[in-house]
Amino acid sequence: MLSNVIASQAVHMQYGGVIPELASRAHQQNIVPVVDTALKNAGLTIDDVDAIAFTRGPGLLGSLLVGVSFAKGLSVAKHIPLVEVNHLQGHILSHFIDLPDEERPHPDFPFLCLLVSGGHTQIVRVTAPLEMEIVGTTIDDAAGEAFDKCAKVMGLPYPGGPVIDRLAAQGDADRFHFAKPSVQGFDYSFSGLKTSFLYFLRDRVAEDPDFIEKNKADLCASLQRTIVEILLNKLVKAAREYKIKDIAIAGGVSANSGLRNAIQAEGEKRHWRTFLPPLKFTTDNAAMIAVTGYFRYLRGEVSPLDVTPEARIENMLGEEHRA
């Protein structure tokens, strides 16, 4: 990786969630300066570039359209091949981003990756850079959504995950107990926890209107412990079932310090090699898209100019969904 520029969108904070229309407008404003800065930081010009990787999906259509259209324009103007990338593969393959001044260990194949983001919660078995299968997935909310929605109930700003993480550090994680799901196999569910949290607060606030304010840290710590326990429980089960000891986490929620500590501790107990992405590669970033595009480019997988973005891609590779 020679450079990695991220334009965060502060605009969503004041609305308590991502407004798709505002997200795509912000992308439109940011994309030219961000690409320009990325090239400058790398000490390159566009003529040094061999391929342009872009996110085809899954994601918000308006935002994807900005990236796809920009990538196409650049590809045509400069005669540079286009390579489509699946956003979720990008998160997983962030473990293969190499840095010029730092040796990074990579997981060996096959490895299991717990992919936890705002939109997805999956256990993925990865057998080669572009060969992967989902062995478990959430049947309702994603883990990031559980963090964000519960944060909203407590009146915390969006995105709630990092705020809960910070407040949890000062709280008692065993103070409160919330419902944990019982779901078959390696699948997850988070909607019951969200409802349990909501009802619990509603009852307590009825008795004491300042309940949330007085107990914020303990609430965050207890909620975070519950989410982490749910996540780890199935991951441990899957690792045992598939007899895999290289275990990675990826996605925005993999920044969570409770999850990182718990995975590390569990790994030591079970003799796993655990792979925690550096924080800069946990939330959405371009480097993970670039490294995935690199693997595809090596296999000669170049996209046609009529490629379209896809908001939902069920298949990990997304190939079936080409119109």
Q: Which chain residues interact with ligand KG4 by CB under 6 A? A: 117-119, 144, 147-148, 159-162, 165, 251-253, 255-256, 283-284
Decide which of ligand KG4, Zn ion, none touches 147; Cβ closer than 5 to 8 Å per partner kind.
Answer: ligand KG4
| Residue 210 C-beta: closest distance to ligand KG4, Å | 25
Q: Looking at beta carbons only, is 59 or 192 nearer to Zn ion?
A: 59
> Considering the rule CB under 5 A, would residue 165 count as an interface residue with Zn ion?
no
DSSP-assigned letter for residue 122:
E
| Residue 195 C-beta: closest distance to ligand KG4, Å | 18
Decide which of Zn ion, ligand KG4, none touches 256; Cβ closer than 5 to 8 Å per partner kind.
Answer: ligand KG4
Peptide bond into 162 cis (omega under 30): no
- H helix intervals, 103-210: 143-153, 160-168, 191-207
Decide which of Zn ion, ligand KG4, none touches 159; Cβ closer than 5 to 8 Å per partner kind.
Answer: ligand KG4
Q: Give residues 63-122 in contact with Zn ion (rule: CB under 5 A).
A: 117
| Residue 269 C-beta: closest distance to Zn ion, Å | 29
Q: Looking at beta carbons only, is 75 or 161 nearer to ligand KG4?
A: 161
Please choose, from the candidates 66, 28, 83, 74, the residue with its C-alpha nearest in 3D space to the C-alpha of residue 47: 74
| Residue 251 C-beta: closest distance to ligand KG4, Å | 4
| Residue 277 C-beta: closest distance to Zn ion, Å | 12
Euclidean distance between the first and the last CA atom of the chain, given in angstroms as a whole number: 33
Q: In what order do the strands lie in the sheet with 131-137?
A: 131-137, 121-128, 111-116, 246-250, 273-275
| Residue 117 C-beta: closest distance to Zn ion, Å | 4
Q: Looking at beta carbons only, is 71 or 88 nearer to ligand KG4?
A: 88
Mark residues 115-134: x for contact with Zn ion by CB under 5 A, - for none.
Answer: --x-----------------
Spatial CB neighbours of 170, under 8 Å, sequence gap ≥ 6: 217, 221
Distance of CA 159 to the CA centre of its chain: 13
| Residue 46 C-beta: closest distance to ligand KG4, Å | 27
Q: Looking at beta carbons only, is 84 or 284 nearer to ligand KG4?
A: 284
Cα(305)–Cα(76) distance, rounded to whole angstroms?
A: 8
Decide which of Zn ion, ligand KG4, none touches 309; Cβ closer than 5 to 8 Å per partner kind.
Answer: none
Cβ proximity of 83 and 301 under 8 Å = yes
Query: At residue 121, what are phi and psi to the nearest 5 degrees?
Result: -145, 110
Q: Give residues 281-300 in contact with Zn ion (rule: CB under 5 A).
A: 284
Spatial CB neighbours of 90, under 8 Å, sequence gap ≥ 6: 55, 288, 289, 291, 292
Max Cα-Cα span within the chain: 67
Which residues of the chain form contacts with Zn ion (CB under 5 A)? 117, 284
